[in-house]
Structures are given as structure tokens and as C-alpha cells.
């Protein structure tokens, strides 16, 4: 008998919880640099293990990772790299595999590579495709309320022919606190590595 949705969610929670305690001890990088909070406040402070602040414990179920980098290449060059999905394996250490069509509504299959963690295969749907300007996708596990992620890539052309490249990653849902405990600082490294790699690739191609 095939697994029901509830069984799949229960299995996912169990796997994350089992690995959280052992992998968290290996994470010696401290808290990631996050824009977090249900109400969207900047909060980089976390109580140390074994201590509780006065009052109710607040569990954050959302984090937004954002980087903006100047890229010495044209918008056309950066866009061509983003939508050349077959070429991602040549430059992208964070998402080395992406398969699908570059059109709104297309389902894409992704392999996410987290430093020091096993790769994860996920699916997402392209929600925005604006040639030369913007590419976005959204995916979830068990529904948006359980665990969801959104990626945004924005290209902002500058007067001198270069661009500002912005990469935003929004992770949310009931399972996010467990996911953060499991992955630790690897989430931020994963995000930063993608941004830096695209910059290097675009500047090399644009020379």
C-alpha cells in the first residue's frame, strides 16, 4: 500500500529529529546570519544551550537569507547563465543539478548540496521568469505550512553596463526549526556559495 501524505510527513519529522542532536554537536560555526522571525524582525541572538530567557519561548518558523553582489558583466550574460540549466553543474556548488524548462509553471528538479551534509533532491515550480531581470521558484514538502522554500534571483542593470545581483532564499514552515538545528551554519554557506559562484562565472564569461 502506498504511503499516505500523513505518513510521509511523519517519516520526514522523525528523520530530521533523529539527526538533529548528533549533527548539531558537529556544528561549531555559531548561529547563521539570518533575517528571522514570524513578525519579520532582525534577530541574530539565540539563548545558549541549557538556558531560557524569561517569558514564553518563541520558536522562529521563517528565515530569509539575502545577498547582493556587484557583478562586472552585463544583464544578458548573467541571465544566460541562470537559464542555462544544463550548465549549472559547471559552476554552481550549491545547486549542481537543475532540470526543467525556463518558463512560468514549469516543474524543476533540483539537487541541493549543503557543506558537510548529504545532497538533497527536491522539486519546485518556477513562479516568475522575466528575461534579463528575474527568476523565481517555490517548492514545499507536505505543503507550505509544513516546510517550504522560495528562491529569487534579481538582476539590476547599472548605468556602467554592470549589474547588481540579488539572491534571496526564504525558508519557512513548522519543520523549519528542526531543519535549522540539523543544518546549522551550512544553510548560510550554501546560500553564499551560490551567489559568489555566479558572480565568478559571469565575470569570467563577460571578459
Question: Could you report the per-residue pLDDT of 119-129, keeping only the tens digit for each?
Answer: 989 999 999 99
44-95 confidence digits (pLDDT tens): 333 333 444 455 444 457 889 999 999 999 999 999 999 999 999 999 999 9
- Does residue 174 fall inside a structural domain? yes
DSSP state letter for 172? E
Provide the CATH number for the domain around residue 121: 3.30.530.20
Residue 98: alpha-carbon gap to chain centroid: 14
In a domain, 36, yes or no: no
In a domain, 188, yes or no: yes
The residue range of the domain holding 167 is 5-21+61-205
Q: How many folded domains does the chain comprise?
A: 1
Is the entire prediction scored with pTM above 0.85?
A: no
Amino acid at each position: 500500500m502506498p504511503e499516505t501524505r500523513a505518513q510521509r510527513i511523519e517519516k520526514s519529522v522523525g528523520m530530521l529529529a533523529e539527526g538533529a542532536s548528533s549533527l548539531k554537536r558537529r556544528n561549531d560555526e555559531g548561529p547563521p546570519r539570518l533575517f528571522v522571525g514570524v513578525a519579520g524582525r532582525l534577530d541574530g541572538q539565540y539563548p545558549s544551550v541549557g538556558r531560557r530567557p524569561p517569558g514564553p519561548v518563541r520558536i522562529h518558523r521563517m528565515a530569509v537569507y539575502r545577498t547582493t553582489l556587484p557583478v562586472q558583466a552585463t544583464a544578458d550574460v548573467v541571465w544566460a547563465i541562470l537559464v542555462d540549466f544544463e550548465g549549472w553543474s559547471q559552476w554552481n556548488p550549491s545547486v549542481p543539478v537543475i532540470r526543467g524548462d525556463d518558463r512560468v509553471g514549469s516543474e524543476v528538479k533540483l539537487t541541493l548540496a549543503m557543506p558537510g551534509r548529504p545532497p538533497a533532491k527536491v522539486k519546485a515550480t518556477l513562479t516568475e521568469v522575466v528575461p534579463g531581470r528575474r527568476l523565481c521558484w517555490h517548492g514545499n514538502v507536505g505543503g507550505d505550512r509544513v516546510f517550504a522554500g522560495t528562491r529569487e534571483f534579481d538582476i539590476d542593470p547599472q548605468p556602467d553596463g554592470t549589474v547588481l545581483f540579488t539572491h534571496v532564499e526564504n525558508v519557512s514552515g513548522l519543520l523549519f526549526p528542526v531543519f535549522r538545528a540539523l543544518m546549522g551554519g551550512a544553510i548560510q554557506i550554501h546560500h553564499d556559495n551560490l551567489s559568489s559562484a555566479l558572480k565568478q562565472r559571469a565575470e569570467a564569461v563577460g571578459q
